[in-house]
Amino acid sequence: MTWAIRKGSQMAVYPRTISWIAVSVGGLAMFLIFGSWFLVSYPIGSIMRGYFYGVNSSKELDFVISLGNSSATVPAYDSNLDLVPKKLPSDKDIVDRKFESGLNPPPQSSSDRPPVDKNSAAIDKNLMPQSKSPDATNSSSQSTASETKKKEDERAIPSVLSSQDGSEPEAATITSNVENSVNGGSVSNNSISNSNDTDMGSKNDIDVKSGGLPDPNPLPTNGSKTSDLGCDLYHGSWVYDSTGPLYKNDSCPVLSQMQNCQGNGRPDSEYENWRWKPSQCSLPRFDAKKFLNLMSGKTLAFIGDSVARNQMESLLCALWQVEVPKNRGNRKMQRYFFRSNSVMIVRIWSSWLVKQRSEPVDFAPEGVVKLHLDAPDDNLMEFIPNFDVIVISSGHWFAKQSVYVLNNEIVGGQLWWPDKSRPMKVNNIEAFRISVETILTALATDPKYRGLTIVRSYSPDHYEGGAWNTGGSCTGKERPIGVGELVENKFTNIMHDNQVSGFNAAVKKLTNKSRLRLMDITEIFQYRHDGHPGPYRSTDPNKLTKRGPDGRPPPQDCLHWCMPGPVDTWNELVLELIRRDFEGNQISSS
């Protein structure tokens, strides 16, 4: 069949466009070939995951729901569910589920801090007990930390130290003679670099001396390397370091304003430059990249009160200088994910670390908090197996009003005991000891938990001359306390010793493959009365920062710590303990 084309028809011009059509078809073919290659090399799913979640591989993250303060609703998934990458040593491709839960009320502020007896500042050095700062590990065999050693005349210490109103824990200062054992695994002397300890000690070092002893139960070594397994981290000197802090107050967006001392107008800054230098070993300057590499694929959780938040923010500020994390938290749990090494930093609020209820119990009415001292906080226990390192912080809330319950029986109370004819079996000091034993025993016996638990000892405050609401002050303190100038605080001492006692009791019950370490900062931080915000708690230009005509100091915070400041030392110690623990496990398994 032939086509007949009339003269003058538009079909007559087609032959002139054949070359254009050929070019178009060729271009389309090239586009399809390039597009196919691009999709194979860069899957669109990975690009979308990387954009929204900061994860490049589907092996690293299956699903994420909660981002910041917003949440995505996805059919067939619990709104509290999140899956977070967790690379285990045995299989780096394993992805563990991470769950969110637990009530996370606003952090304790300087205007809502726990009370304590203003008489607790009574000082008698001869009454103070001696204690040991133990630590334990469970490698091939379980080692038990030594019990707290107390002087015979300790019996003279009052058993109840409480106030009549809602005041905050008073702070004087203490020196406790602590026999510190080492905190777990060790690092080779040759592996610790002093390259960062430059120009230190140029301003009269502040020595902190008390009879420290080496660890009676060091982790085993393979005999092929020199190791500082017996190195004591908690006796040494505060030395001036002109290199300055790891970060600046304006370089960390997660820093709470109440601890942003420079941003709030504090005129001095020398407190930022003092570093802790153990006398028996080196404590390296915090290395953010080294921390992220060491914690690769792991999760570190801070559990406790507002001082735990203080330490968590300090760590985030240091890490922020090398990488900006993804915010994976919500109102229930703070979580920050560092994409480069798949490291998650978590904070869970738990004021007392034990189960708390508001419902009526026996003669205790609704409204007052009931603490079940023999049960751990049920808002956090189901998530414990997902953590590789836990840092515990507690103590100051035991001066707040609460009722103590043991075996479903009311045994005591703080700022609450309506029937004076009933004998009180447990006071707030003993309640603190029981709570420490309870939470640590729960961690030490959970068959699914295999991580490292670091118990940061009681953090001292420095309200001199009264409590936070009765004229206590830390204004004008610009450098650490000198040796011989330290005044003991009986309340801080006995809280520390009860915490150590609870720690020791839990160590004896350890049955799983987790490890317990005591990070004993109480004594050395007695010297850092210069590290608190004081009256510089806000940006208010009209805030009071000087004493009034009557000599009374302005309202101030002498409990929490400035950032940057002394609190950054805690995370240098945490990094050292983690490094010793991980290295110790490698040595034990070799």
Order across the sheet with 299-304: list the strands: 135-136, 515-519, 452-456, 389-393, 299-304, 343-349, 334-338, 326-327
DSSP 81: E
* Polymer length of the chain: 590
- Catalytically annotated residue among 228, 232, 557, 581: 557
Indicate the angle between helix axes 490-508 and 428-445, nearest 10 degrees: 30
Report d(CA 435, CA 394) in Å as an integer: 9
Report d(CA 497, CA 132) in Å as an integer: 8
Report d(CA 117, CA 120) in Å as an integer: 5
Closest Cα partner for 209 from 184, 236, 229?
A: 236
Report d(CA 311, CA 358) in Å as an integer: 29
- Catalytically annotated residue among 235, 496, 529, 560: 560
Report d(CA 128, CA 75) in Å as an integer: 60
Q: Are strands 370-376 and 274-278 parallel, antiparallel or unpaired?
A: unpaired
Helix (H, G, I), strand (E, B) or coil at 186: coil
Residue 556 has which token pair? 């101030």
Closest Cα partner for 360 from 410, 411, 435?
A: 410
Ramachandran sector of residue 251 (left: φ over 0; alpha: ψ -120 to 50; beta: rest): alpha
Task: Identify residue 548 by its one-letter amino acid code.
Answer: G
Closest Cα partner for 386 from 327, 451, 445?
A: 451
- Catalytically annotated residue among 306, 342, 350, 459: 306
| Rg of the chain in Å (alpha carbons) | 29
Indicate the angle between helix axes 306-320 and 568-589, nearest 10 degrees: 80
Which are the contacts of 362, defined by CB distance < 8 A and separation ≥ 6? 409, 410
Report d(CA 304, CA 137) in Å as an integer: 22
Task: Scan for tokens 């820093």, then name that residue.
Answer: 255
Residue 418 preceded by cis peptide, ω within 30 = no
Hey, how many other C-beta atoms are within 10 angstroms of the C-beta on 357? 16
Can you count the helices (H) and strands (E) in the chain? 8, 21
Report d(CA 460, CA 520) in Å as an integer: 11
* Cα 255-355-571 angle, rounded to 5 deg: 30
Annotation says 496 is catalytic: no
Write out the DSSP string of 510-571: --SS-EEEEE--HHHHTT-GGGS-BT--S--TT---S--TTSPPPP-B-SS--TTTTTHHHH
Annotation says 530 is catalytic: no
Residue 206 has which token pair? 């502040």
Annotation says 462 is catalytic: no
Report d(CA 344, CA 85) in Å as an integer: 9
Q: Which residues are catalytic?
A: 306, 557, 560
